[in-house]
Amino acid sequence: MFAVVRTGGKQYRVAAGDKIAVEKLAGEAGDTVTLGDVLLAGEGDNLADAGKVQVSAEIIAQAKSEKVTVFKKRRRHNYRRKAGHRQQMTLLRIVQVGDSKAEKSAPAKAAAKSDDAPKTTEASEAAAPKAKKAAPKKDAAPAKSGTEATETKTPAAKKAPAKKAAAKADDSK
């Protein structure tokens, strides 16, 4: 879901997870703020009632923007003034757009779909039990120092026996 919010005299199109730089807001890093002036909200082509939508954001940092040089000069009067300015700004990470109920139900639906998605083939099912049997043998070995133990348990090392078993199954056919 996206929303168009107004803060600091400017408008920003935001969605959950976006990072934006806005005019300075009160608060410290880690604080949560609510951007109340929502002008437009929707998902895809469907627009929602902007009055009911709230945008929550987390303050990442208080910072200064790029330097702007101000140079004044009057010809033939030996008048030159040079000054610089860095505007205060707040970096925000958009945490949530819309209702908390709608945001909580969306990840639950996504998790349900991801559980249905992984479907394995017969060859990978036959290779998987062999890989699982090999894993306890590695754990039964005497304990090594911290770095050596992590190096032997890399994902590539676990996948190699499964690939060889699948290749042997293909050769036998």
pTM of the model: 0.53
59-68, 92-101, 131-140: lowest mean pLDDT where?
131-140
Residue 65: closest CA among 6, 27, 22, 35: 22
| Cα–chain center distance at 80 | 48
Q: Which pLDDT score, from 0 to 100, does residue 103 have?
A: 47
Q: Is the pLDDT reported for residue 136 higher than 70?
A: no
Q: Which pLDDT score, from 0 to 100, does residue 112 have?
A: 47
Q: Is the pLDDT reported for residue 167 higher than 90?
A: no
The Cα–Cα gap between 16 and 12 comes to 13
CB 97 within 8 A of CB 15: yes
Q: Mean pLDDT across the chain, nearest whole number?
A: 76
Provide the pLDDT confidence category of residue 160 given band limits of 50, 70 and 90. Answer: low
Q: What is the 3-state secondary structure (H, E, C) of the chain?
A: CEEEEEECCEEEEEECCCEEEEECCCCCCCCEEEECCEEEEEECCEEECHHHCCEEEEEEEEEEEEEEEEEEEECCCCEEEEEEEEEEEEEEEEEEECCHHHHHHHHHHHHHHHHHCCCCCHHHHHHHHHHHHHHHHHHHCCCCCHHHHHHHCCHHHHHHHHHHHHHHHHHHC
Residue that is written with structure tokens 């009057």 in the block: 74
Residue 13: closest CA among 48, 38, 49, 45: 38
CB 63 within 8 A of CB 89: yes
| More confidently predicted of 94 and 45 | 94
Percent of the chain with pLDDT over 70: 57
Q: Which pLDDT score, from 0 to 100, does residue 34 have?
A: 93
Average pLDDT over residues 32-51: 90
Query: What are the distances in angstroms from CA 46 to CA 6, 53, 133?
Result: 20, 14, 52
